[in-house]
Amino acid sequence: MQRRLGGLEETTQVSETNVSLQLTIKGVSKVSSMSSPATSSDREKVVSKLPGWLRQDLKIRAAQHGIEIQTAVEQGIDAWNSLASTPASIDTSGAGPFSTFLPQGQWDTFRAVAADRGVSLTQGLAQSVQLWLDANPAPHIERPTITRRIIVCNQKGGVGKTAITAGAGEAMAEDPNALYPVRVAKQLAAALRDQATTREDSPLEVEDLPGLGLRVLLVDFDPQCHLTNQLGGTPLPMNGDSLTNHMAGDPKGDLQDLIVSVDDEAFGGRLHLLPACNDAFLLDVRLSAVRAREAALERALLPLEDDYDVILVDCPPSLGLSMDAAAYYGRRRDGEQPGQSGALIVVQAEDSSADAYELLTSQIDDLRNDLALDIDYLGIVVNLYDGRRGYIATSSLQGWVDIKDPRVVGLIGDLKEQKEAVRLKRPLLSYAPTSQQAVGMRALAREIS
């Protein structure tokens, strides 16, 4: 923690508790020198060489634009063939095997043009790929016009609100110029169905996707300081400034000065933390003397919002005034689209979570009605799930799935990597980036984005 101042054939496998996650992108496994040996539908398989750095850039950029690698190469070769002159030479030393599928006849045309220009096929292909990269720069991150505010909540303690807050925030802040394994969205419904009716984990497909690259602030709103400690931060001293003081109208400085950066290469300075202080145990008492106390959290955090795309609040297990303030902060503002901000409810697949869920939703619904607010439910996350626990777990999961509104947007297993990351005070997504839990956190971040 540092204080903050002012296609190809590739296989990715993730194995966690007998769950195998595998992705295969089109291509071949054995590569010789230049050839055009086979056909696939209306395309032919071509085999060449390409520098590793250029191959990686191509893979990332194609994913960023949501197209197949073979389509990007096809477009690059077409552009290269039509050039009036040969582009600058590219260093192809150490080029490794590369294969793709191209439209019938394109490779033969490319070979003829390369021969006319006196350029090797490896060099011509490298220039073609670079030409496509230059014409298709990395897309800009889409910033919300209104900072999104996500309150992660449940009246029951021990359900893993902190882990979900941290994991979703980490997933939102990952490097947009790198690829990470993400569970295929359409697999969630199947996984929920299968795991609610059996005790076996279902194989899940993953795909490599760029990080979301958002600027994220994690707010530890819990006096137990779990989020602060989990990410290696230091709780704020009782005799200093804190979020509680700002909410109670008694600030001792600038709240921005309390923010720390979660320093990790994967997050590139985009992930920050507002640490907790134990004085939050007194928050409800102090808020009772504050005018318009429901808006206290918003008044405190509003000056920070211009610096962030998303603010996630790790709420305490409470139904008091502090929870009212959190729910109010997550309300839908004027001009904001439904589902951009709101409450993300974390539960477990057991009976006591259902009781706590009813209490929480009753409180939010009362606040909605009393103050005429629009407070959206972003969904339910079933955390710490283990189908091997038998009927209680599977039937409870089915009960959450049956609710429909809000729907289940995440299913996170009870696996060792999260516990290890907490023990080591490291972000889960950098400690175990390919673990099943990390893959699920990225899927969750995309479900609610």
Q: How far apart are CA 243 and CA 256, in angstroms?
A: 10
- The strand order across the sheet containing 43-50 reads 35-40, 43-50, 96-103
Residue-wise DSSP of 166-219: HHHHHHHHS-TTSEEEEE-TTHHHHHHHHHHH-SSPPP--EEEEE-----EEEE
The answer to whether residues 175 and 267 touch, using CB atoms and an 8 Å cutoff, is: yes
- Burial of 135: CB neighbours in 10 Å, binned 0-12, 13-18, 19+: exposed
Cβ-based neighbour number of residue 37 at 10 Å:
11
Q: How far apart are CA 235 and CA 226, in angstroms?
A: 9
What is the four-CA torsion angle of 107, 109, 111, 113, rounded to 10 degrees? Answer: -140
HEC secondary structure over 143-176: CCCCCEEEEEECCCCCCCHHHHHHHHHHHHHCCC
The three-state secondary structure class of 246 is helix
Which domains, from first to last, does the chain contain? 11-135 (no CATH), 148-447 (3.40.50.300)
Whole-prediction pTM: 0.84
Cβ-based neighbour number of residue 313 at 10 Å:
28
- Burial of 290: CB neighbours in 10 Å, binned 0-12, 13-18, 19+: middle
Chain centroid to Cα 436, Å, comes to: 13
Q: How far apart are CA 449 and CA 444, in angstroms?
A: 9
Whether the link from the prior residue into 406 is cis, omega within 30° of 0, is yes
Tokens describing residue 53: 């750095």
Question: CA–CA distance from 330 to each of 86, 311, 372 (Å)?
Answer: 56, 10, 14
Q: How far apart are CA 188 and CA 447, in angstroms?
A: 10
Per-residue pLDDT tens digits of the chain, which is 449 residues long: 544 433 333 333 333 333 222 222 223 223 333 344 444 468 999 999 999 999 999 999 999 999 999 999 999 999 999 999 989 999 999 999 999 999 999 999 999 999 999 999 999 999 999 999 999 999 999 899 999 999 999 988 889 999 999 999 999 999 999 999 998 765 566 666 666 555 455 556 788 999 999 999 999 999 999 999 999 999 999 889 999 999 999 999 999 999 999 988 889 999 999 999 988 788 888 888 889 999 999 999 999 999 999 999 999 888 889 999 999 999 999 999 999 999 999 999 888 888 889 999 999 999 999 999 999 999 999 999 887 888 888 888 889 988 989 999 999 999 999 999 999 999 999 999 999 999 999 999 999 98
Residue with tokens 């303690």: 157
Cβ-based neighbour number of residue 288 at 10 Å:
11
